[in-house]
Amino acid sequence: MSVEQRLKEIALSESGFVFDPVTGLTFSVSPTGLFILERLRDGKDADGVIEALREEFDTTDRNDLVRDLNEFLRALKEQGILPRDSEV
């Protein structure tokens, strides 16, 4: 299953509340986390998410964005939201 398909199973609210019906896990994400999840659901890869973040938040430090995105993806994998071996 692709990352995009897996994330389409997840319920997201506008406030950042996330529900995974597969695992029963619920949690909240920041507005930035919600932005990332929405872009991943739309099929963007890591580079596409980074570019979207740069545009949305008017930031130029790509290294910080890459680090922050990788940390967020790692957390999603640790929680079972994304498969541990998934590539974004």
Using DSSP's 3-state secondary structure scheme, residue 45 falls into coil
Report yes or no on 72 lying in a domain. yes
Which phi and psi (to 5°) does residue 16 adopt?
95, 10
CATH assignment of the domain containing 74:
1.10.10.10
Task: Provide the domain limits for residue 21.
Answer: 3-78
For residue 27, what are the β-bridge partners? 18
Render pLDDT for 30-57 as a digit per residue (tens, 0 to 9): 999 999 999 999 999 999 999 999 999 8
Residue 74, domain member (yes or no): yes
How confident is residue 3, by pLDDT bands cut at 50, 70 and 90?
confident
Q: Are 62 and 69 in contact (CB under 8 A)?
A: no
Residue 22 CA, chain-centre distance (Å), reads: 17
Please tell me whether the overall predicted TM-score, pTM, comes out greater than 0.95 for this model.
Answer: no
Q: How many structural domains comprise the chain? A: 1
Contact (Cβ atoms closer than 8 angstroms) between residue 18 and residue 11: yes
